[in-house]
């Protein structure tokens, strides 16, 4: 056995993830001295825990608990990152349900199964499993800026979650609480226009995640008369949208984002508009990861648009394919292996050195906009993209994140568009390709049912491209 090699790998792992060397908060609270890598000394850590516990003291009112939570939030705002992390760890590790109470409640529930007391015992059991951590989060939400504080706290924590499992309890608890607090029933749909406050328009520029907004002229174009922009707002975060969608009204389904982003283009004639094209959807709060708004946003926007423009017949997207190029880099050879002899011969005539190999194909698509539309490389990339979107599943869901979102909402894959996004980002992520997802309002439930069975709904055009 090569012990030196094993030891070297173990030390490398520990150095790569230094929290592996750290003591739990329980060990640190019982200690007297601080280790070098620890931010708060045992004494300060104990004091911080005492202040956190004071927030959920059953003897104090909601108002007083909120006041105490606000004091901790003020300390947190000034604390360096390492000290903030110590507070996360305390919230995650030290506010757990009492195992003895849980055990008793579980025994009572088991004994009550099959009796008239079963339902009540089940409620008591669920209550017993609720951790004091949830009560702590509720108290933080009691003061005016409390929800904003918690959303930002979770956003701060996301980077550490990848390496420290001890934070998962706090993260899961926050996601659960946020899914309740940010239920769509509590959200307001608002239109964002050029007449909206400048501070709100600046938020669009800041949070736009699909097609970067480059100037005020750019954002004005996106808020022109033939466009609509809508966002979901929460009463406690009323100054910025949680998610927003940009819509173009036109007489046909767009195949390229270039004309949509052309600041000099004339506005479309709204009297002739029959298509509502969703060309950008952006979440704004990373701290709300895992809380879904998009499905409800699209439904509400469709209803709003139909009231304003009854003549609209088609609701579709022009969407990026962010995972395609990376997937192709890993799967190019397996795609080439699917080709028949004729297709391989055609490729051999145009690939560097005549080699029908993954490296040659990937080299050829490094500059996708230079490819002739009649090139066999162009055709193969389109086929690969169709396969990626329509066949690649993980745990029964589409591999591509944007496809997962729209197909999960009941859309179908309608059309692939070559050179639809010529930006550097578009070429890097998807060889310049974009895809139209069609929201057929009469078939949304049918498409969801198909997806639940592992079948992705696609148009005949996409079917014709698949291997």
- C-alpha closest to that of 26 among 42, 50, 10, 48: 42
Helices (H), 337-440: 341-348, 358-364, 376-391, 401-408, 424-430
Per DSSP bridges, beta strands 412-417 and 434-438 are: antiparallel
- Options 378, 387, 406, 447, the catalytic residue: 406
Beta bridge partners of 100: none
Sheet of 434-438: strand order equals 188-191, 227-233, 243-250, 275-283, 314-317, 434-438, 412-417
Whether the CB-CB separation of 204 and 229 falls below 8 Å is answered with: yes
Angle 329-330-331 from CA coordinates, rounded to 5°:
100
Q: Quick one: which H or E segment has residue 248? A: strand 243-250
Decide if 378 is catalytic. Answer: no
User: How many CA atoms are closer than 13 Å to the CA of 145, on its beta-carbon side?
Assistant: 9
What would the DSSP string read from start to end of 256-270?
Answer: -STTTT-TTSPPP-G
Rounded Cα–Cα distance for residues 190 and 137 (Å):
28
Whether the CB-CB separation of 249 and 270 falls below 8 Å is answered with: yes
Q: Name every residue whose Cβ is closer than 8 Å to that of residue 338 and which is 6 or more positions away in sequence.
A: 467
3-class DSSP assignment, residue 234: strand
Rounded Cα–Cα distance for residues 120 and 98 (Å):
20
Rounded Cα–Cα distance for residues 92 and 76 (Å):
16
Rounded Cα–Cα distance for residues 313 and 62 (Å):
51
- Options 92, 141, 280, 319, the catalytic residue: 319
User: How many CA atoms are closer than 13 Å to the CA of 55, on its beta-carbon side?
Assistant: 28
Decide if 20 is catalytic. Answer: no
Q: Name every residue whose Cβ is closer than 8 Å to that of residue 381 and which is 6 or more positions away in sequence.
A: 328, 365, 368, 371, 431, 433
Active site residues: 319, 406
């Amino acid at each position: 056995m090569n012990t030196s090699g094993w030891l070297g790998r173990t030390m490398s792992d520990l150095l790569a993830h230094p929290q592996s060397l750290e003591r739990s908060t329980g060990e640190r609270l019982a200690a007297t001295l601080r280790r070098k890598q620890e931010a708060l000394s045992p004494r300060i850590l104990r004091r911080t825990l005492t202040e956190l516990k004071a927030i959920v003291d059953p003897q104090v009112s909601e108002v007083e608990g909120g006041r105490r939570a606000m004091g901790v939030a003020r300390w947190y705002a000034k604390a360096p990152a390492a000290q903030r992390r110590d507070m996360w760890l305390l919230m995650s590790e030290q506010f757990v349900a009492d195992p003895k109470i849980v055990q008793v409640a579980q025994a009572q529930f088991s004994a009550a199964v099959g009796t008239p007391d079963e339902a009540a015992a089940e409620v008591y059991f669920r209550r017993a499993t609720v951790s004091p951590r949830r009560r702590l989060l509720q108290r933080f939400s009691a003061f005016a800026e409390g929800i904003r504080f918690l959303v930002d706290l979770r956003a701060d924590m996301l980077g550490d979650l990848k390496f420290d499992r001890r934070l998962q309890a706090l993260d899961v608890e926050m996601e659960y609480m946020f899914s309740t607090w940010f239920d769509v029933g509590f959200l307001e749909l608002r239109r964002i226009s050029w007449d909206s406050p400048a501070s709100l328009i600046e938020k669009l520029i800041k949070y736009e995640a699909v097609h970067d907004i480059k100037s005020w002229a750019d954002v004005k174009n996106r808020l022109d008369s033939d466009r609509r922009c809508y966002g979901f707002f929460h009463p406690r975060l009323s100054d910025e949208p949680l998610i927003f969608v940009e819509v173009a009204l036109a007489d046909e389904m767009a195949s390229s984002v270039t004309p949509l982003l052309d600041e000099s283009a004339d506005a479309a004639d709204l009297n002739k508009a029959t298509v509502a094209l969703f060309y950008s959807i952006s979440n704004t709060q990373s701290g709300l990861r895992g809380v879904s708004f998009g499905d409800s946003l699209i439904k509400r926007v469709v209803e709003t648009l139909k009231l304003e423009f009854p003549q609209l017949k088609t609701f579709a997207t022009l969407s990026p394919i962010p995972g395609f190029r990376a997937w192709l880099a890993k799967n190019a050879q397996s795609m080439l292996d699917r080709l028949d002899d004729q297709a391989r011969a055609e490729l051999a005539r145009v690939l560097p050195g005549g080699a029908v190999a993954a490296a040659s194909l990937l080299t050829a698509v490094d500059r996708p906009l230079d490819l002739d539309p009649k090139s066999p490389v162009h055709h193969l990339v389109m086929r690969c993209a169709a396969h990626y979107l329509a066949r690649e599943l993980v745990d029964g869901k589409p591999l591509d994140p944007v496809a997962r979102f729209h197909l999960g909402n009941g859309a179908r894959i309608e059309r692939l568009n070559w050179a639809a996004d010529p930006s550097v980002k578009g070429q890097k992520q998807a060889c310049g390709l974009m895809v139209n997802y069609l929201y057929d309002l009469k078939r949304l439930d049918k498409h969801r049912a198909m997806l639940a069975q592992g079948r992705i709904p696609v148009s005949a055009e996409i079917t014709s491209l698949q291997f």
